[in-house]
A and B are shown apart, each in its own frame.
Chain A
Amino acid sequence: MFSRDRWREILEVLTSNIGRTVLTAFGVCWGIFILIILLAAGKGFENGIRADFGDIATNTMFMWTRRTTKPYEGLPKDRSFEFKVSDVQAIWDNIPNLRFVSPRNQLGGFRGGGNVIRGIRVGAYNVYGDYPEIINQDPMTVTSGRFINQNDIEEKRKVAIIGQGVKSELYEKGEEVLGSYIKIQGVNFMVIGTYKKKNNDGDGEEAQKEIFVPFTSFSQAFNRGEDVGWMAITAHDGSSISQLKESIIDVMRERHKIHPEDKRAIGYFDLYEQFNRVESLFVGLKAIAYLVGIMVLLSGIIGVSNIMLIVVKERTKEIGIRRALGEQPWSIKKQILMESIFLTIISGMTGIIFGTLVIYGINALLDSVGPVDMFINPSVSVGVVTGALVILMVSGLLAGFIPANSAIRVRPIEALRTE
């Protein structure tokens, strides 16, 4: 099938009218180029959005308390309440498939008053009381020292992990950080580690200016008792937190004597739902890219089909001679089909290479001018390229089909008569 003679013949035919072949090839080349560029742009946009989500475990919900809006069991509405440490165990006991349930307490807020003092320097930072698991839900890289561990929790050690931002504001350059003390709302904590978060959106600065201390020490130092400010709950990968959240909230309603219909007493934010919404946007983008790309490609394919028809027409006599000499109809058909597929694939490959070069150029440009909002590393995967090749192969086959059939439809005697 792939004999040397056949290839020679294909090349002979395609190079016999180079200008025409190149123009035809350009149609397919352009189509696949557009497809690749569109997909890469979509991917770049997707990467940009995904980076905004950062490394946060996306199968996560956050839950906090508000005021009740309905009276229940003799309790009035507008009652405020707090989650308790015992609620964590209750959630573990009642809800399956959970991976992390992290109670959290928090001091400060966005550019709040100066709450942290070291020597003559003062800063305003978010201070969190946390369990060690939080590093899995809100990932950060520990750049020196260590993160909170279970012993810190049990012994209520007054230790703290500070962000790079905190370090640069409270310390001189080159100053030893580990083992030094910072005063958080009048209570001394020893710094045992520093961290850095990967993030590239507007909160980047704020994310590097946080302080993490053990949950238990936080409660004791700042008089929180058994109270829990809010919770971060992550489900196992197999099950979605969006489906579990109703039952989690039901457990909380029951424990805090809240009317089952009271929708507003417990506030929550379902990260997974948000993420899914964005995810479906990506799917839509990809569908549009494929649709537009394939439409453009289609016009290229029609061009190939057209040219092959003309080639067949021009070679009618030759085909007649070949058939008189005893070439089988299917062999002629195969020849035409292979010419068409070969032309399509070669031009498609050119389009892919050209598209890849352009993407490479864009990436180089992005690298040199710095990050652009919501657009990172446009790229196409090997899978997409393989897919494109398959599309090309199929379309080459389709493009050659009509011409190949018309080539053998003419009877040899009539073919021989044409001049």
Chain B
Amino acid sequence: MIEIKDLHKSYKMGSNSLHVLKGINFTAEEGELVAIMGSSGSGKSTLLNILGMLDEADSGEYTLDGVPIKNLSETKAAQYRNKFLGFVFQSFNLINYKSALENVALPLYYQKVPRKERQEKALQYLERVGLKEWATHLPSELSGGQKQRVAIARAMAAEPKVLLADEPTGALDSTTSYEVMDLIQKINDEGNTILVVTHEEDIAHMCKRIVHLRDGVIVEDKKVKQVRASEYVQ
């Protein structure tokens, strides 16, 4: 599903440049649930941004579901993001003047799905994250965990090939974190490929595979026995 070869990325900071990714080689099969771990500054967010086509690598190859991702125009990148990728952010990034339903329907709107179908589908996904009754509420009326579930519903609504989660539990207490991870695991159980960036060990162990990054290189890549989050959820 995801294949990257010898990926390099450096940022220019005035006169000196900062080499963030120093040759990353990484493959993820369909249906995998991968945790990307590392301390801050290890390059994990940069890697995720490049995978999310929000940023571009300086050199190296990136293939997503057989499609080479290179020299994309903004329009093309937007198209691919919409078609291939779902994003979940640490700070939820819901649009605050739109209701939960409208937020979930947004990627479908960009796919030019007709209004009615869009709403039905969005409601369906809200139901799956258990927030059907909250459809008309604004994000400001939801708790952190609910917001993140809306964000996950939004990411899933477009039926992406890969779900990218950047510290999805970073702003949540442990109980809600487990609820969110439970949801992510369930989505993964249905065969979706998911990449989770985190620096929390317990969250990482709820994935099936952990990739450790340090100073821009992968230092460890191991399969782990998945801890089901549902064990912690009442």
Contact = CB atoms under 8 A, between A and B. Distances in A.
Contact of A325 (B74, B107, B115): B107
A190 interface: no
Interface in B72-116: 74-75, 78-83, 87, 89, 93-95, 97-98, 106-107, 109-111, 115
Contacts of B145: none
B154 interface: yes
A346 interface: no
B74 A327 contact: no
A343 interface: no
Contacts of A416: 54, 89, 93
B158 interface: yes
Contacts of A324: 52, 54, 81, 87, 93
Contacts of A168: none
Contacts of B74: 328-329, 408
Given A326-B158, A330-B75, 4 more contacts: A321-B95, A323-B78, A326-B110, A328-B79
Interface string A119-158: 0000000000000000000000000000000000000000
B106 A325 contact: yes
Contacts of A4: 115
A128 B75 CA distance: 83
B49 interface: yes
Interface in A7-49: 12, 16
A326 B81 contact: yes
B55 interface: yes
Nearest to A323: B78
A206 to B, nearest CB: 73
Interface range on chain A (Cβ under 8 Å from partner): 20 to 34
Given A5-B115, A12-B97, A328 B54 contact: no
A413 B55 contact: yes
A318 interface: yes
Interface residues of B, number: 27
Contact of A328 (B55, B94, B95, B110): B110
Q: Which of B78, B94, B107 has the most CB of A within 10 A?
A: B78
Contacts of A317: 93
A322 interface: yes
Interface string B157-189: 010000000000000000000000000000000
A316 B64 CA distance: 28
Given A327-B78, A416-B93, A322 B106 contact: yes
Given A412-B54, A413-B49, A328 B97 contact: no
A185 interface: no
Given A318-B95, A325-B81, A416-B89, A5 B54 contact: no
Nearest to B73: A329
Given A5-B115, A413-B55, A416-B89, A326 B95 contact: no
Interface string B138-170: 000000000000000010001000000000000
B115 to A, nearest CB: 7
A331 interface: yes
B54 A329 contact: no
Nearest to A324: B87
B89 A326 contact: no
B82 A326 contact: yes
B86 to A, nearest CB: 9
A325 B49 contact: no
A331 B93 CA distance: 20
Contacts of B82: 325-327
Contacts of B80: 326
Contacts of B89: 416
A409 B94 CA distance: 22
A329 B115 contact: no
Q: Which of B80, B107, B109 has the most CB of A within 10 A?
A: B109
B107 A329 contact: no
29 contacts: A12-B98, A16-B97, A317-B93, A318-B95, A321-B94, A322-B106, A323-B81, A324-B81, A325-B81, A325-B87, A325-B106, A325-B107, A326-B78, A326-B79, A326-B80, A326-B81, A326-B82, A326-B83, A326-B107, A326-B110, A328-B74, A328-B79, A408-B74, A411-B54, A411-B55, A413-B49, A413-B54, A413-B55, A416-B93
A329 B76 CA distance: 10
Contact of B109 (A5, A321, A408): A5
B216 to A, nearest CB: 18
A250 to B, nearest CB: 75
Nearest to A8: B102
B197 to A, nearest CB: 14
Interface string A188-206: 0000000000000000000
B227 to A, nearest CB: 30
Nearest to A6: B109
